[in-house]
């Protein structure tokens, strides 16, 4: 177990004298953790309205799904590579459109249905505080670089560092 909340420099000569400890069973597992750590450094600043009405409720909905329907949670995890928003402002948004990016395959009907129901709940909860559009589903192999750069990519809210 490692506490990844702390980031401390380590003297390289000391580190070189230590016995290596294998921390991952595969390169893929190592990449998941590496991506999660790098995301902490590059994530965009988002305003409190967005956090309150979109980010936190999405994380809570995904946590709830993981507890209630692990098979569907795994489907959502596997089929949605990243999520993003297209909004009028990052720090003081009045409107956002949620965009879900899949790999080379379209997401399944059950994944699409779950995201649509979730975004409908977000919309109802936000009321007039934030206009929430979407979800819009796009494939990463079909979206242009210009379209991707126009989005605020928020990473993988559902990706777990555990195997669970």
Domain boundaries, the chain: 45-153
* Residue 99 near residue 135, CB atoms below 8 Å: yes
pLDDT of 52 higher than 70: yes
Banded pLDDT at 98 (limits 50, 70, 90): very high
Mean pLDDT over each residue of the chain, to the nearest integer: 86
Q: In the beta sheet, which residues pair with residue 84?
A: 99, 153
DSSP helix/strand/coil, 126: helix
Distance CA 1, CA 22 (A): 12
pLDDT above 60: residue 164: no
pLDDT, residue 65, reads 95
Query: How much is the pLDDT for 39?
Result: 54
Spatial distance between the Cα atoms of 139 and 148, rounded to a whole number of angstroms: 11
Enumerate residues 6+ apart whose C-beta is below 8 A from 108: 75, 79
Instruction: Look at residue 163 and tell me whether its pLDDT is greater than 60.
Output: no
pLDDT at 114 over 60: yes
Strand runs (DSSP E) across 79-143, as ranges? 80-87, 95-102, 131-139
DSSP-assigned letter for residue 157:
T
Confidence at residue 161, expressed as pLDDT on a 0 to 100 scale: 47
* 3-class secondary-structure state, position 140: coil
């Amino acid at each position: 177990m490692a506490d990844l909340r702390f980031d401390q420099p380590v003297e390289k000569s000391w580190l070189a004298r230590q016995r290596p400890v294998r921390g991952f069973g595969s390169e893929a597992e190592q990449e998941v953790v590496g991506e999660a750590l790098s995301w902490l450094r590059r994530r965009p600043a988002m305003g409190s309205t967005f956090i309150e009405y979109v980010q936190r409720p999405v994380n809570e909905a995904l946590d709830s799904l993981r507890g209630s329907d692990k098979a569907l949670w795994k489907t959502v995890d596997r089929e949605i590579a990243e999520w993003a928003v297209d909004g009028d402002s990052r720090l003081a948004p009045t409107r956002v459109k949620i965009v879900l990016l899949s790999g080379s395959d379209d997401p399944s009907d059950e994944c699409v249905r779950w995201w649509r129901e979730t975004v409908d709940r977000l919309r109802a909860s936000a009321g007039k505080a934030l206009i929430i559009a979407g979800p819009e589903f796009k494939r990463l192999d079909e979206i242009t670089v210009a379209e991707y750069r126009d989005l605020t990519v928020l990473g993988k809210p559902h990706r777990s560092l555990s195997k669970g």
